Amino acid sequence: MRSIDTHTGTTLWPRRLETPRLRIGYLERAGAGPTVVFIHPNRTTNRVWDFVIGQSRLSNRFLAPALRGHNDSDWPDTGYTLEHHRDDLIGFIEASIDTAVVLVGQATGATLALMIGAARPDLVRAIVAAQPALGIPAAVNDLVQGQVAAQQRLASREAARAALPFAERWSQAVTDHFLDHMLDTHPDGGLVWRYHAPGVCQTEAELMRDLSTQTRWHGPALVFGGAESTVLPSSMFERAANAIPGAQRASLPGANHRLCQDNPEGFARLLDGFVHQLG
């Protein structure tokens, strides 16, 4: 496969891995030290990490898998609970890496990172949980369900741009990059998002559950949210941090809900500092 050069000159390699559960598409950047695994939010793509990866000064190996029903991973008709995603990622880590990893997740990805750490602490060195979604309000779920239903088919790229959720703080480059990698042609004309809509809706509804017993991580952690978050309350991030002994806390300036796209440089600085502290 051809390599991908990010906007800041970092080379990523697109790959696919056959696991006993499904085929997972992922990006890889070569490096040394603990592998860093990036887990993207629901109804996005693993390519949302490109700008953070490009801004990071870490020399670690980076892996960014796509969740089932997203991008180049398999799109099964069923199986979109949080446990399905968690176990997919555990299988991916077991097949790709022979040492404990640093998990970096955002929103749904942060929830899954904590679930992996709780279920398989032997696989995890540390966790960066950005805006973890734990017990989201019904109003947020309703908002996302309505957006997915209304965007089953888009007339044009400009219509897709106008329909982008949580994109007010994105740069033009980040917006164009997201549209480049999230849109596909509808067989009857127009465009569609590159995710399995019923699966996305099931996963979103799952985030309303009480996950306190399934997200108990007791290792090194950095928990932070967007300083300007209007989607998930800061109390949610505080609750997640309070449940992790010794968790570091931070706030990402200039960021609302999609932190790695709102402020990728700031996200990379927080990540780099945390990983350097691990030694």
Alpha carbon 42 to its chain centroid, in Å, reads: 7
| C-alpha span between 269 and 166 (Å, rounded) | 22
Which residues on neighbouring strands pair with residue 184, listed in sequence order? Answer: 192
Which token pair is 72?
């180049």
pLDDT of residue 279: 82
The ranges assigned to domains in the chain are: 4-134+209-278
pLDDT of residue 115: 98
With tokens 């056959």, the residue in question is: 18
The segments of the chain whose pLDDT lies below 50 read 1
Quick one: angle between helices 197-206 and 138-150, nearest 10? Answer: 180
With tokens 């750490």, the residue in question is: 117
From the list 246, 200, 151, 159, the residue with the least C-alpha distance to 40 is 200
Q: Per CATH, is 4-134+209-278 categorized as 3.40.50.1820?
A: yes
| C-alpha span between 233 and 144 (Å, rounded) | 16
Whether the CA torsion 26, 29, 33, 38 is positive or negative: it is: negative
Q: What is the pLDDT of residues 49-61, one digit of tens each?
A: 999 999 999 999 9
| C-alpha span between 236 and 192 (Å, rounded) | 32
